[in-house]
Chains A and B, each alone.
Chain A
Amino acid sequence: MTDSAMTPPKQPMAALPGGEVTEGPMLAADGTPLKASLKRALRREKLRALLLISPLLIFILVAFVAPIADMLFRSVENQIVSETLPRTVAALEADEALPEEAPGEEVFHALYTDLVIAEEYKVHTRLGSRLNYEMTGLSSLFRGTGRDVGRFDTDIYTDQFVEAEPALEDPVNWSNWMSEEEIRDALPLTADAWDAWTTLTVEANEDDPLEEDVADFVYTALYRDLANGAAPANFPDVDVSSFETVSIRALFEDSDEDWLDPEVWQVIQTYSPAYTDGYFLNSVDMMNGPGGDAQWRPDDEQIYLKLFWRTMWMSMAITFSCILLGYPIAYLLSTLPLRSANVLMILVLLPFWTSLLVRTSAWKVLLQQQGVINDTLVWIGIVSDANRLALINNATGTIIAMTHILLPFMILPLYSVMKTIPPSYVRAAKSMGANDWTAFWRVWFPLSIPGIGAGSILAFILSIGYYITPEIVGGTEGVFISNRIAYHISSSLNWGLAAALGSILLALVLVLYWLYDRIVGIDNVKLGG
């Protein structure tokens, strides 16, 4: 409609003020220059159009576009590491042991505090699952140590402190000390641990910290502060130099020796920023290697490129079979008299209107080894009973069922293009001596190519995003990237990876969509005539 004529101005142009012909801009009846007046009218028209469109546009933006944008954002989000292990992440920055060996006591102390807290909030297993996407084995590591960490032998500090200064057992005293700025400044680790413990007691356990036993990790923090030489005023003076000590690093090693594996720590370090490219790398079978350089995943973990490739070639195969089957039908429909064409058109539209699930389950019935097609073939004698064709639970099944489902999307645009080809062209070719084939191939076919283009892109776009049909008839070899996305959303719970795979798929579709718009124009999508 953009190319249709502009509406004429509302006022006749001749009505110039004073009736005299003046030099300069033409004026409208009210004296404003005609150009401005026209512009204003145009603006008003634009505004009215936008007003009509805006409710829907806002609706689509909120109900459809925003959710997708929100999901895509998940593909880079990675706050979980720094939120679950804030102290560890901070301590790791200062540590210089990596990448040669596992970090020192400082970092393990931070990890101890973080993990005790995370365990209370029950978030450590989720972190383990998250990190397991990057390095297999981390999930069990976090789970196992999460169970142990509450029972670490750090209670020797608690016991020694309480023995040296009984006042240190009373949470009320603690609360008083910890409200004094000076003490807090002198004992930074302790203050931090105390704050974490009190919040945790209130939030996670719904208890009153003033009535609970102060946790071991607070005493452990206190020991480290005092051992570092802190000597705050107004705080019990305990000499810790004679204390029996325990290496937290060794405790972690006892729990699981993988904690001393520098690779584990590199993964934690690499994924400590709040945003990551890890999910996107994973979706193309790569990963952040040691030192943060992208590298290929091991061979036996490379699946996504293959899946993308499979999705592409199967969609192409489906599109091609749609052309092969759709072209003759569209040709027939466009050459038949309109009335019979309309009747036959119902045969095309009926499957189009039938529930997707219904059609897919029908294909299940038809294609299975003991199904209708195989039974018929065996009955005719084309295949022997022992060698029934495997038509389902593989790529063949997906291609057959999807060709059926997408065929109407090919036939309809083909038909609408073919209907516009004047039959006289072919007659003219024939009258000039072309035989049937030449007339078709040299005249008709080239004119129908836009229809093929429109149908192909549409079928291809719809095909690469399919989920239900491959899921039901595809087995393991006939599934698409969409099935993988669904798997990551509902089974493996790797939502970040699902979002990254989804973003790539979406980008692919949008490029094709853009192409379609350029070549065919979205306005020209037709639905059933």
Chain B
Amino acid sequence: MEIIVYPRRYQPVVGVGMVNLGKVNRIRASGGSTMFKKVTAVLLAITALGWVGVAQAARTDIVVGMQLEPPNLDPTAGAAAAIDEVVYANVFEGLTRFGADGSVKSALAESWDISEDGLTYTFKLRSGVTFHDGSAFNASDVKFSLDRSRADNSTNAQKQLFDSIDTIEVADPETLVITLSAPNGALLFNLAWGDAIVMSPDTFDKAKTAPIGTGPFKFSRWVQGDRIELETNPDYWGTAAKLEKVVFKFISEPTAAYASLMAGDVDAFPVYPAPENLAQFEADSRFNVVVGSTEGETILSTNNKQPPFDNKLVRQAVAHAINRQEIIDGAMFGYGTPIGTHFAPHNPVYKDFTANSAYDPEKAKALLKEAGFADGFETTLKLPPPSYARRGGEIIAAQLRAVGIKTQISNLEWAQWLEQVFRGKDYGLTIVSHTEPMDIGIYAKPDYYFQYDNKEFQQLISDLTLETDEAKRAEMLQTAQGIIADDYVNGYLFQLAKTGVANAGIVGLWENSPTQANDMTEVYWSK
């Protein structure tokens, strides 16, 4: 068992304890057997003082539980959500950032001007910003970081964010000018992603193990396989964080996560992995359970190039064979919102397409017959480790079996899943939650793992990128949602809920998950 020093528990006791020691020594030095009573009295008083001390001093550290450990700490060099969940907004910042409600806020850019034609963005940067190693931040750092991320040899996982950028110029140390090749209404949104954060040219190559950013927390140490520690950055340009120390502890086993929360070893689990335990935490006054929304569209990904899924009728049959509510109840214990397309329901331009693929096993059977599979067929269902996939997979297998589709389930670890399914495209069906915000654009990539190739959709998405008018963008996004829903590209299951469990004394954790992040800047202990 790991022992973590909690200042709340130790600081007051240590402080009073030193006084205590002196007094007791003096009393002892004066000698005499009646001293015993006095010593007891003093000890009692000190104990009482200690309690008061405990009650007054709010803790300034937090232990945050995460299920997956990040492979590295450079958000510009990896797709793993766990990277952003540690460093986004805490260690690294970009020109803009996401707020708790998903809105785009200013970060290292204090303000910006957009030219009439929408092609030139002039960013006014904040002054007095320093990196954690003490070096000063200026516009050339931003230019370096963005140029590195959009370079041909860049390993950035979301390179398409920078597609529309033509040139980046440093006007003066506090002014940056980005010129676009075509108008892009989503530029400020794109720059808020964790993949667009700013690093210094001197330290970027060490970011994987020792990240140096501009954020309110400094990276302190990483105990591989166990935890990552951050400490407050005293030279932060903005409002300093209230916490002094943040520990991200990695607990992959849901059982262990449960035990560590109950024992108080972990203070908060922003994405608690076992929804079946939430009722217990809710009943316990020591904990707060907050169920919010995430950007995680949980879908039954279908290999659109693998027969028989290259036949739209078959995909439609699969869609009608799925009973979403049963999956949400059975796999997620009721937490989750049904979706009918690849779009987050809390987004204002979301359109409900669930009726399009309503649960109708008879229709599914009829469609299979029409497609020439009256006796059904057999396919593979490859499941990554999260419980939404493992449990959801068993339920979907039973639902598909009811209409004559036999599935061979194989449970894979993440590494195997990435290898076989995501990169190898060797699968029929799989279940995964796509947690990036506004990621409908992945359907325009024909070589993405579900291999959906629709020229009309690809044209729509490239038009969308150029469109800056909000109303038109909304309309186009809705059309896009409709196209993939009508093509039954994947089985659309539900929007993953953010099931957060935290000690009742913690204030300021994000309720929803507009991006992959555990923003600790506003978190504090109320008691």
* A and B interact: no
Chain B interfacial positions (CB closer than 8 Å to A)? none
Chain A interfacial positions (CB closer than 8 Å to B)? none
